[in-house]
Amino acid sequence: MRQITLSLREETVASLQRDFETFLRLSLKLDPHFVTPSFEDFLRAKLLDNPTPLTEQAVQRMLTHGQYAWAKRALDKEFPEVVEILIRQAAEHGFAFAIRPDWTAEDLITASRELATAIVTEAKGDASQIEALATQIKSATEDIRDVETRMQTPAWRLADSLRQRVYETKIAVENSVGSNAREKLGELRCLLRLGIYFGSIQKQEAQQVLEYMRSLRPELFVDEPYDGFTRFASWLRAIFAPPPRMRARTQR
């Protein structure tokens, strides 16, 4: 390292000394524990046009005790908890962190770890944070179906409407006769398939509905020849056969 020897007048040295003392006074006023530089370090900073000279001890203290150190500790140790707090608070204010409904527990663990790895890697964080962050992500997630129910999304409204429509059509099949009953049965089958597709009705539940209708109205499940006599007979039944409710009332 090269050295430079300066020859300064007494007045210049006195002025620099006053500046140095002012710098120390202001620094210690802002931070009583500030590690002050030496007069030589102060002169070196003046030559380098650096208005805030810092010693290595001062830099070390700032990294371990100052506001920067608090932020670093928060990122190093509390970052996973911060992510969990953000997700939880978001859910309480109308946002959501949803997962696929068909994921198993193993799928959720794998996806949480992959997401945590991507976050920590892009943020250039400590790899030791990954497992803790993955655990927080896993515990803060919700099934997309629960999210849709709470938020009443268009998909949830459609599924709910399908259930109501299935119920109404089932009642219509029970109380219809002739070709109208067969039409309603076809509509019921179509609605059940849509309900299964949109997740509003389970496949087993749809099968139970059809089995119930088969036991209640077995004639609707028998294929009839579509000729003129059959149409004429259906027309007569529609005219002269009373509705199921009326028959029940007559029997009483």
Full pLDDT tens readout for the chain, 252 residues: 677 777 778 888 888 888 888 877 877 776 676 667 778 777 777 766 655 555 555 555 555 555 555 555 555 555 667 777 787 788 788 888 889 988 999 999 999 999 989 988 887 777 888 888 888 888 888 888 888 888 888 888 888 888 889 999 999 998 888 778 888 888 999 999 988 888 788 889 999 999 998 888 888 887 655 555 566 666 666 666 555 554 444 444
| 100 and 167 both lie in a single domain | no
| 97 and 184 both lie in a single domain | no
Return the pLDDT at 168.
92
Using the structure block, give the residue that is written with the tokens 């070196």: 44
Among 126, 149, 172, the domain boundary falls at 149
Of 110, 133, 111, whose CA–CA distance to 121 is shortest? Answer: 133
Using the structure block, give the residue that is written with the tokens 């997740």: 199
The SS3 of residue 143 is: strand
User: Exposed e or buried b for every residue in 177-190, given b needs 16+ CB within 10 A?
Assistant: bbeebbebbebbbe
| 207 and 235 both lie in a single domain | yes
| 175 and 228 both lie in a single domain | yes
What's the sign of the alpha-carbon dihedral 53, 55, 56, 57? negative
What's the one-letter identity of residue 168? E
Domain assignment present for residue 1? The answer is no
| 170 and 241 both lie in a single domain | yes
The whole-model pTM stands at 0.46
| 143 and 170 both lie in a single domain | no
Among 102, 120, 149, the domain boundary falls at 149
| 162 and 228 both lie in a single domain | yes
Domain assignment present for residue 2? The answer is no
| 93 and 112 both lie in a single domain | yes
Supply the range of the domain harboring residue 101. 73-149
The SS3 of residue 98 is: strand
Domain assignment present for residue 132? The answer is yes
| 126 and 179 both lie in a single domain | no
Return the pLDDT at 110.
94
| 170 and 138 both lie in a single domain | no
> How many distinct structural domains can be found in the chain?
3
| 158 and 238 both lie in a single domain | yes
How many secondary structure helices (H) and strands (E) does the chain include? Answer: 13, 2
| 217 and 129 both lie in a single domain | no
Give the integer Cα–Cα distance in Å for 116 and 129. 8
Structure token pair of residue 9: 């007048």
